[in-house]
Amino acid sequence: MERHWLLCLLITTLVASTMAADEEAQQRAADRVTNLPGQPPVPFQHYSGYIQLQTQNEKSMFYWFFEAQTEPALKPLVIWLHGGPGCSSVAFGAAQEIGPFLVRRPSYFTNRLTFNEYSWNKVANVLFLESPVSVGFSYTNNSNDLLEIGDQVVANDTLAFLLGWFKRFPDFKSHDFYIIGESYGGHYAPQLAHLIYETNKGATQDSFINLKGFMMGNAVINDQTDTLGIVDYAWSHGIISDKLYQSLKADCEDFKLPHTSSQCNNQLKAFFDAFSGIDIFNVYSPVCVLNFSSTTTSSNLEDVGFEIPSTFDPCVNNYVRKYFNQKEVQRALHANVTNLPYPYTLCSGDADARVPVTSTRYSITKLGLPVIGEWRPWFYKRQVGRVGWRLMVKDSPWPPYAAEVTKPHYRHEIGHFLCSPIFCLTVACHLPGFDLR
Ligand SMILES: *[C@@H]1O[C@H](CO)[C@@H](O)[C@H](O)[C@H]1NC(C)=O
Ligand SMILES: *[C@@H]1O[C@H](CO)[C@@H](O)[C@H](O)[C@H]1NC(C)=O
Ligand SMILES: *[C@@H]1O[C@H](CO)[C@@H](O)[C@H](O)[C@H]1NC(C)=O
Ligand SMILES: *[C@@H]1O[C@H](CO)[C@@H](O)[C@H](O)[C@H]1NC(C)=O
């Protein structure tokens, strides 16, 4: 009798898991993006949609996944985590930096996505996640969740997301997996790597993640060094006066204090005021002077007597916001299916981070890890200025390995970062002032 019962249970479980797998396969097919407005034709597949977290099931996280352009079955999987905290990996990482489709200035009648020749899906399967919940299209139905968001919650939720995502895309489960964090992602990437590393120790086949390494670019690592770096950068680029520079450093005591004084806060306010009229994310760029009201249907920089630089359009954030707010775009991406009561924004909240090369340098020094490669220019097609600098820091016991990440023309260019099993902290710096989110 008991054996029958066990057999019955076994069969029920098998049937249930087969059904679950079938449902996931159906959902995967439904997540395929086939009709994205303005998209150039491409031979590879991409998918987007929601993964409901099993641990916190009122949370639903939005992803956009691009299979590698060729031989996706043989290529690693990377997850891209944008910073802020609170900025969208889709709006920045995918639509402006390393995704295959970059949002461009729309023409009068059409959406415009251009194919990105530097897309990372040349070498990897790339997964963009909007995190934490409330960023982009990711949401929670429990408003209390919003009060608890912090690095630990983000790490937990991202892991829960990944486990759910692998159920939908089981073919990628065995691929080498890498985590990439930009800006505040400098916190997300190592913390997620650590959580996965620890969880893997007691993992079942189901919950094991084949983590090979992580990478950070323009990373926020440490408040004191990061702030010092911003201030030094602004002073050295003539954005603030000697006087403000001196008083900032004096009143803020080189930013060492955990709590800043009101004098320091006033100085900091004056400091950020100095950036009005300057694009803090690219100090050499003109600022966007267009008036993008929500009713604007087209934009024309020439109308305001302004020549658009061929490589960088300071208004791109506006185009991106407009693009992802369109109903047809959301429908194509299977986004906003619950009719969220607020519009799509690139960053939720205003806690933007700005992370110049000076900050990164100070922060690396503070890490106290042995440097295995000195600062040096990185040549690309025999040009140097175009790419910036790099530094490698070793975190034993694995062999050190360098990522070459760079952003000619404001993009991260793919590099040879997907080779050996690594646990090496790689920090990539770019030309000062280029992109900081
Ligand atoms: C959130 O609520 C909406 C509306 O009731 C529902 O359609 C959706 O499935 C819920 N999502 C989650 C993750 O609970
Ligand atoms: C993260 O998850 C672990 C394990 O499920 C749990 O013990 C911990 O409380 C969670 N932390 C947060 C901040 O949610
Ligand atoms: C932008 O345009 C809107 C609508 O046309 C108008 O109400 C607003 O005053 C304009 N803002 C600026 C700064 O010109
Ligand atoms: C979601 O859809 C609703 C209804 O169409 C819209 O008002 C809202 O702006 C959208 N929100 C996002 C985040 O796209």
Predicted local distance difference test score (pLDDT) of residue 276: 74
Rounded mean pLDDT, 72-97: 92
356 C-alpha to center of ligand 3: Å? 32
Query: Is the CB of residue 383 below 6 angstroms from any atom belonging to ligand 2?
Result: no
Summary mean pLDDT of the chain: 75
- In this prediction, residue 435 carries a pLDDT of 31
Which numbered ligand comes closest to the C-alpha of 158? 2
Give residue 245's region: left, alpha or beta (phi > 0; psi -120 to 50). Answer: alpha
In the predicted structure, residue 380 carries a pLDDT above the cut 60: no
Q: Which residue has the higher pLDDT, 46 or 19?
A: 46
Reported as a single tens digit per residue, the pLDDT across 416-435 is 222 222 222 233 322 222 23
Q: Which amino acid is at 405?
A: V
pLDDT at 297: 38
Long-range residue pairs from 253-259, CB within 8 A, at least 24 positions apart, any chain: 254/224, 254/228, 255/223, 255/224, 255/227, 255/228, 255/231, 256/224
Judge if the beta carbon of residue 297 lies within 6 A of ligand 3. Answer: no
Residue 80 CA, distance from chain mean position: 5
d(CA 142, CA 86): 18
Q: Which atom of ligand 4 has the smallest separation from the CA of 336?
A: 1
CA–CA distances in Å: residue 229 to residues 14, 129, 165, 222: 57, 29, 38, 10
Alpha helices in 142-259 (DSSP H): 151-168, 185-201, 223-236, 242-251
Q: Which residue has the tokens 């299209």?
A: 137
Name the residue at shortest CA distance from atom 9 of ligand 4: 343
Residues with CB under 6 A from ligand 1: 52, 58, 60, 141, 338
In 284-370, where do the E strands start and end?
none
Question: Which residues sit opposite 77 in a β-bridge?
Answer: 125, 177
CB atoms within 10 A of CB 24: 17
Torsion of CA 98, 96, 432, 377, to 10 degrees: 30
- Asked whether 161 and 51 are in contact (CB, 8 A), the reply is yes
Residue type, 214: F
Tell me what the mean pLDDT of segment 369-379 comes to: 51
**Is it the case that residue 327 has pLDDT exceeding 60?**
yes
- Ligand number nearest CA of 137 is 4
Nearest to 52 by CA among 144, 157, 155, 145: 157
Q: Are 288 and 318 in contact (CB under 8 A)?
A: yes
Q: pLDDT tens digits, residue range 104-158? A: 887 655 668 999 999 999 999 999 999 999 899 999 999 888 888 888 899 999 9
296 within ligand 2 shell (Cβ under 6 A): no
Q: Which range is least confidently modeled, 268-277, 346-355, 388-397?
A: 388-397
Cα-only R_g, the chain: 23
Tell me how far the alpha carbon of residue 185 lies from the centroid of ligand 4, in angstroms.
Answer: 26
Q: Is the pTM of this model over 0.95?
A: no
Q: Which ligand is nearest to the CA of 290?
A: 3
Ligand 3 probe mutation, 289, 290, 292, 293, most atoms within 8 A of CB = 293
User: In whole angstroms, what is the distance from residue 295 CA to residue 302 CA?
Assistant: 19
Torsion sign (Cα): 118, 120, 121, 122: positive
Instruction: For residue 224, give both structure tokens.
Output: 């004191």
pLDDT by residue (tens digit) across 283-303? 666 667 665 544 343 444 434
DSSP 399: P
User: Does residue 156's CB lie within 6 angstroms of at least one atom of ligand 2?
Assistant: yes
